Each structure stands twice: as structure tokens, then as C-alpha cells.
A and B are shown apart, each in its own frame.
Chain A
Amino acid sequence: EAGVAQSPRYKIIEKRQSVAFWCNPISGHATLYWYQQILGQGPKLLIQFQNNGVVDDSQLPKDRFSAERLKGVDSTLKIQPAKLEDSAVYLCASSLLAGSPYEQYFGPGTRLTVT
């Protein structure tokens, strides 16, 4: 079974530029999550989708971050404009079931460096 796919793996941009990350969850997984992991810290949830609807985006900086999950499958996370403090690894995860904290399966992440 294929795992969670993410691209690109690495991205370097200058501050105030825009960037987009893509995620394709495990086939059949209805729930998709985007996390931000700053160096030396645990992942922090940015947004959670159930199919193509948003369940939780309380920690998403909506003035610059946006995410969508059209058709309830793959998802895109965008940052516009980027700030230096956005340098982090952006992790996508998916889980099969909803309604309870079930195990989540993570992709390899996208390492973003903002200069």
C-alpha cells in the first residue's frame, strides 16, 4: 500500500514570496492533516480536513496560509507571503477513520527555508 506522498521535499524561497505544498493521502483515508514542525519541536496541527470539509483550522495563520482539499483526496497548502518564521517542515498525515484520535500516517514532509 502506498504511503502519504508529499512534494516538493525541499523548498528555498525569499521572504514575501509564495509557496505551495502538495499532499496525496493514503487511498481511502477520509481525514487529512497538515502540520508545521519547527526545528526542535513536535508537530503542530495547522488544519484538518474530513473529506473536503474543514474540521479544525484554529491554528492556521489565515492571513497568510490557506489550504484546500478539492474532491476530498489530495490537498494543497499555500503560504503567501512567506515570513522568516515560516521556515519549518510541513508534514501531511492521513487517517482512515474519523470521530476519535486514531493513528495517523505521515508523509516525508516538505522542508521549507525562508531567507
Chain B
Amino acid sequence: AQKVTQAQTEISVVEKEDVTLDCVYETRDTTYYLFWYKQPPSGELVFLIRRNSFDEQNEISGRYSWNFQKSTSSFNFTITASQVVDSAVYFCTYGGGSEKLVFGKGTKLTVNP
């Protein structure tokens, strides 16, 4: 069965620091998708990015960047120059042959002013 591991349970940084959230997945699927979702204190999950298994290009969106490496089964997420508003729980998520999403346990990021 597919599995998503987010080894970092909690991370605390000071504003303007860069921070990387790690994600490792296990699968036997050849075609799959990886996602990151953000869950701020308000509770609503917010979609950040979707990548498919055939596209290993890194992606940058403003202060956010993602590094997908099939060789290490990792899909890490970096926030550059973190801000207090980035404080949230971040979930790495796997989607395989079915439409079902498998969520990691999440990493709670706290950005202190």
C-alpha cells in the first residue's frame, strides 16, 4: 500500500528564515501524483501544488519551491524568507491509480516574529 512519511512533526523558525519540509513516499505505482496541502489554524485545507510522476522538474511559485526526486522517492517543500502567515500544518499527499488521496501525518510549522 502507498505510504507517505513526513518525519518532521513540528518545526519552529524565526521570520525570514528559509525552511524545508521533508516528504518521502513509498509506492509500486508507475503513474502517480504528489500534492502539498496547507492547513492554517482556521482548519480549511488549501491546495498548493500537484506534480505527476513523469515530471521531475522543480517548481517555484513566489516564496515556495518544490523538489521532486524519484530516485529518492522524495517531494520536499521549501519556503524562502518565511513569514508569520506561513504558520500552518503542511500535508504531503499521494494520489495513485484511483482518485483516492493518502495524506501524511503533517508537519506543523510555526514562524515566530
Contact = CB atoms under 8 A, between A and B. Distances in A.
Contact of A89 (B43, B93, B101): B43
Interface residues of A, number: 27
B50 interface: yes
Nearest to B95: A101
B99 A100 contact: yes
A45 B45 contact: no
Interface of A: 31, 40-45, 48, 55-56, 89, 91, 93, 95, 98-109, 111
B35 interface: yes
B99 A44 contact: no
Contacts of B47: 103-105
A42 B107 CA distance: 10
A45 B101 contact: yes
5 pairs of A and B residues whose beta carbons are closest in the complex: A101-B95, A42-B103, A106-B45, A103-B47, A101-B33
Contacts of B98: 56, 101
Nearest to B49: A103
Nearest to A40: B105
B77 interface: no
B28 interface: no
18 contacts: A42-B91, A42-B105, A43-B91, A43-B103, A45-B100, A45-B101, A91-B45, A95-B99, A98-B99, A100-B99, A101-B33, A101-B96, A101-B100, A106-B44, A106-B46, A107-B44, A108-B42, A109-B44
B69 to A, nearest CB: 20
B50 A102 contact: yes
Contacts of A99: 99
A42 B42 contact: no
Contacts of B103: 42-44
A39 to B, nearest CB: 11
